Structure 1
Amino acid sequence: MGPEELQAKTGEQLGTSEWVEMSQERINQFAEATGDHQFIHVNEEAAKMTPFGGTIAHGFLTLSMIPYLTANSDVPRLDGIKMAVNYGGNKTRFINPVRSGKRIRAHYKQLEMIEKRPGQWQQTNEITIEIEGEDKPALICEWMTMYFV
């Protein structure tokens, strides 16, 4: 699909990712990588005493899953991409904690697709990360990606 074709999908739902488990092992690895060892993430016994009833994934872990979720989704792909980079976010809201062992998936709605300069396109998507079996999502964000074609 060319950038102009994708641009025509502005305002539309683009797709959904596969489900992925937020295991305690993944949470512990994120804690190691970031140095964020707050007990609600890594101490299962202490976390049982909180309103969460157990450990939860870091909000930033959930946010950082966007590239993986996108790669494992049915979102349309641009043809001829030389490079794609995360460009940033306009809004991010952590709405509901992801408990260890729960599965998440992402839903993508294109808000904007603009050509910044020849061969460089900026896409803004509203991404909602759903938690399996829960009414409220884990997070909603407006995320921007820069494509070089």
Structure 2
Amino acid sequence: MAEPRIFRSVEELRTAVGEQLGTGDWLEVDQKRIDLFADATGDHQWIHVDAEKAADGPFGTTIAHGYLTLSLLPTLVPQIMRVENVRMGINYGTNKVRFPSPVPVGSRLRATGTLKEVTETKDGGVQITTVVTVEREDGDKPACVAEAVSRFYF
């Protein structure tokens, strides 16, 4: 089990800017997860949900949606970092997202990250930007690289 880097104050966050946050545990992306994501989003493109057709396609199998990979950040990021002693934390968005390589069904993913920026907000919170890289086991390129933006209120 991965041990997350724990932050208990704004000062601790500021001190960690530029630092590697660690590496999370592997998470398998199975066809059930892909199909449920397709149902939730209405994206039933054959490369995601039709195993027979996808076997003859460019990837040789079904692949996860890029946005499915991105949507795993709330599961993957707490394995590499956690902010404690807060009244509330929210996902504020992403500044930049890229999907450099596909995620074939059955792939295992994990996250690494670097704290990029910490700024105060006008409403008394702190906004952090974390560059999260989602690695695919045995992959030569990341599956996803995203600048995740979160806000915390201590």
Q: Provide the C-alpha distance between the structure 2 equivalents of 1:33 and 1:118, rounded to a whole number of angstroms.
A: 33
Q: Provide the C-alpha distance between the structure 1 equivalents of 2:80 and 2:138, rounded to a whole number of angstroms.
A: 21
| CA drift at 1:53 | 0.3
Task: Flag structure 1 segments of 5+ consecutive residues without an equivalent.
Answer: none
* Corresponding position of 1:107: 112
- Give the alignment partner of residue 98 of structure 2, picking from 88, 93, 99: 93
* Corresponding position of 2:5: none
Deviations 1:35-93 (A, max 9, x none): 1100000000000111100000000000000001122x132x32311111111111111
How many residue pairs get matched? 147
User: Following superposition of structure 1 onto structure 2, how do residues 13-92 of structure 1 map, counting pairs within 5 Å?
Assistant: 13-71=20-78, 73-75=79-81, 77-92=82-97
Write the letter of the residue equivalent to 2:13.
Answer: L
Write the letter of the residue equivalent to 1:109.
Answer: T
RMSD: 1.1
Q: Percent identity?
A: 47
Write the letter of the residue equivalent to 2:152.
Answer: Y
Q: Is the 8 A contact 2:109 2:135 kept in 1?
A: yes
- Please identify runs of 4+ aligned residues in structure 1 that moved more than 4 A: none
* Corresponding position of 1:6: 13
* Corresponding position of 1:145: 150
Task: Flag structure 2 segments of 5+ consecutive residues without an equivalent.
Answer: 1-7
| CA drift at 1:118 | 6.3
Q: Provide the C-alpha distance between the structure 1 equivalents of 2:74 and 2:115, rounded to a whole number of angstroms.
A: 16
